[in-house]
Structure 1
């Protein structure tokens, strides 16, 4: 079980990102932002928050290659989404946007003592080739099968899995990762690739509350807080506390499994 991790929070206008120790002097850093839809915050992360993360990483690693990696959930291409959001204005010469669906893959073993569905999962080989990985998630609540689903820094990792392999009825989504349920599959996600992530950021400036399963439409609730730290579960738990959401069952389940692993 990892040691307890410190979680930071700040008002949106005061947010100054403090990267994890793994980013200090790193040669290559991977940043996974929630940018899967051609819709602005809180459906996706704001450019203000993502810009602050990139600036913080650049301060601690002036010469690092910083790779922004995302896989979309939309017919709109990643380059078009990035252009609409203004992402390219944030990038310096050492930063690059990469489409997760176009990257070489690696099969990652599921380290869970109790795998749910996947004994291993395919994701970009790049995860194992960089010195530091950061998840920058939006904060959303959708409803699946009558139950609330919280999306934050851990659920954000869904965008790293290739749609060609994990699609179901729609080629634009990763339907295989919804069976038997997203909360259960998130356990496999965490124990397959979650351990590569040294930092998590949740854009809690605003929370999206969807009336159904669609994570790109709903009510916007202002929260005005950014949450970050070195442990995805701890950061997501704090985001839920700040957003008046119950701690998701999947966080509790993963934390129990970490004691066993």
Structure 2
């Protein structure tokens, strides 16, 4: 069964995209980059349902939860604080693994945009190319950079896949190079480099997180009561922004404009 282009629901029952059906390896990129519970990170009930949904259509698949943190707190400690290890133990599925993206060999991926903003290629785990299906499972957050709203959903969630060893700036714990000269421009490159290679997205809008400023882990939670899922990351993020009643970030329009001439459309 092919899922609709985008679906929003309160009682979330995940229908994976066609690429997951009968897959041998599925990579799920969850938004778990900080040791702070939802909605700063994706809610574990939503992540659990995505794993179960994949398992329903791919009984033999190896399912990999692939994330890279953005904090000085070690990866293992972040996952323990968030309860991810406990969730996996409760699933009792030996073929679901949690992997730190920063520990994996990386390879360059070509930017398929007609007009790259900064990067003509970007490095990310080679493991992405070895999966039959890739899913971005994100929280929904709004920060403010240079007086402009920056929405974080399934596209921005992909930042955790880029190795800090390659993309750090002053702090070795962050990916500062991906904020220069403008994060909104870099996100266009992120979409056309990795986003186009993903087969589906889920955005947890049980709550939205509104930052007081640029910090993605300090702010307030506002109930929304929905989950958005679909096969196309941009379409899912646009629907999530609509449901959350948030103004669109510049990078959404920039991606949409380039997709009109992108040969993959």
Distance, in Å, in 1 between the alignment partners of 2:29 and 2:75 is 13
Q: Distance in 2 between matches of 1:30 and 1:89?
A: 19
1:70 aligns with 2:67: yes
- The alignment status of 1:210 with 2:207, answered yes or no, reads no
Alignment correspondent of 1:49: 46
Structure 1 runs not aligned, ≥5 long? none
How far apart are 1:79 and its partner, in Å? 1.5
Give the conservation status (yes or no) of the 8 Å contact 2:6–2:235: yes
C-alpha separation between the residues in 2 aligned to 1:175 and 1:84? 25
1:22-171 aligned at under 5 Å gives the runs: 22-91=19-88, 92-171=93-172
Q: Distance in 1 between matches of 2:135 and 2:74?
A: 22
Residue 113 of structure 1, CA deviation: 0.6
- CA offset at residue 157 of structure 1? 0.2
C-alpha deviation, 1:248, in angstroms: 2.0
Q: CA deviation at 1:204?
A: 0.4
Give structure 2 stretches of 5+ with no counterpart. none
Counterpart Cα distance in 1 of 2:62 and 2:87: 14
Provide, for residues 133-188 of structure 1, a one-character-per-residue CA deviation record: whole Å limited to 9, x for no partner. 00001100001111110000000000000001100111111000001111100111
SS of 1:49's equivalent in the other structure is: helix
Looking at structure 2, the residues matched to 224 and 66 of structure 1 have their Cα atoms a distance apart, in angstroms, of: 27
Deviation at 1:85, TM superposition (A): 1.6
d(CA) in 1 for partners of 2:153, 2:196:
16
| Pairing of 1:228-247 with structure 2 (within 5 A) | 228-247=229-248
1:253 lines up with 2:250 in the alignment: no
* 1:206 partner SS: strand
The 5 Å alignment of 1:191-210 reads 191-210=192-211
Q: CA deviation at 1:35?
A: 0.2
Q: Is the 8 A contact 2:148 2:249 kept in 1?
A: no
Name the TM-score, length of structure 2 as normaliser. Answer: 0.94
Q: Normalization by structure 1: what TM-score?
A: 0.96
Instruction: Give yes or no for contact 1:240–1:247 (8 Å, CA) kept in 2.
Output: yes
Q: Which residue of 2 aligns with 1:8?
A: 7
Residue aligned with 2:137, SS? strand
Q: 243-252 or 20-29, which moves further after superposition?
A: 243-252
Q: How far has the Cα of 1:258 moved from its partner?
A: 1.1
Q: Distance in 1 between matches of 2:252 and 2:121?
A: 20
Q: Distance in 2 between matches of 1:81 and 1:62?
A: 29
> 1:89 Cα deviation (Å)?
3.0
Q: Answer yes or no: is the 8 Å Cα contact 2:109–2:124 preserved in 1.
A: yes
CA distance in 2, matches of 1:43, 1:10: 20
Secondary structure of the corresponding residue to residue 55 of structure 2:
helix
Q: Name the SS for the 1:126 alignment partner.
A: helix
